[in-house]
Amino acid sequence: MRPKAYTFFIASSHGGSVRKVRVPFYVLHLLVLLAIVGGATVLAAVGSYTRMMWKVGNYNSLRREQDTLKRQYEQLQTTVKDTNERLSSLQSLATEVAMTYGFMRFRQTPFGLDEIGAAGASAGAEAAYEKSVEQFIFLKANPTAVALQTEGLRLMPRPGLGDARFEPSLWPVIGHITGSFGERLDPFSGEGAFHTGVDISSEYGGQVRATAEGVVTVVEPHAGYGRLVVLDHGFGISTWYGHLSGFRTQPGALVKRGDVIGYVGVSGRVTGPHVHYEIRIHGAPVNPWRYLRFTSVGD
């Protein structure tokens, strides 16, 4: 039995000849199947291309939004930086003015030479209790001041930086001041910036000394400062020593005036070996020059 087939007659308009073409049944069905598959493939490709173009459009839109948000974020960062610099400048100026005209006084301690006996002899139980609470609150708020007192807990009122041990009046290194306190041009960006301390140039690896008796609170790298050491001298007074090449102390250590705490370096944002030195009172940077100009390392 001959297989089923389709016969096609093809006639030529020029010569008048007729050609007969016989196509098997399965071949025609195969061609139809291939046409269906090809059409489906083309439709799928068109759909995939359309989805890809849609995703590319969304991606480009998101990139544009991201770039816009990035520019806005950079502008906000610049605004915040300028605001913080103005705030630091105003805070420092306010602290300087308050100290100069006597508006700021270091916190009076509730301890005195004759208060213990007086409390037991003349004050009642309620007054003694209130005094004890006041002393407890003071000790809790000023642990550094208590730790630095070799005489024990009989702390005397301190109206100012009168005790030479706690007054940061020593030069941390011997050298020239290459960066002054206050407003200046940033050596990297060329823009105006508030410099919270002084830069003292010195030989690389030179010894950096504590300018007053205190407790070491920070010994670690810090953004902008490089390797940083911070000393707490009690009563809201702290000193900062930045751009060190190495440390010679550790957190929690008690240091005396003149003890070596580190070495001159170029860590952080620097243009040469020096020490960035700050004095802060209740967190506000003050001009160290009022203390540095009177003493030196050899004093």
pLDDT in tens, 34-65: 889 888 999 999 988 888 889 888 888 888 88
Nearest to 290 by CA among 175, 182, 144: 182
Confidence at 290, pLDDT banded by 50, 70, 90: confident
- Three-class SS state of 45: helix
As given in the structure block, the two tokens for residue 257 are 């005036």
Rounded mean pLDDT, 11-30: 75
Name the average pLDDT for the chain: 78
Q: Is 18 exposed, middle or buried (0-12, 13-18, 19+ CB in 10 A)?
A: exposed
Query: What's the Rg (C-alpha) of the chain?
Result: 40
- Verdict on whether the full-model pTM lies above 0.95: no
pLDDT digits (tens, 9 = 90+) for 106-159: 555 555 544 444 444 445 677 777 767 776 676 666 666 555 554 444 444 444
pLDDT digits (tens, 9 = 90+) for 216-229: 999 999 988 999 99
DSSP 98: H
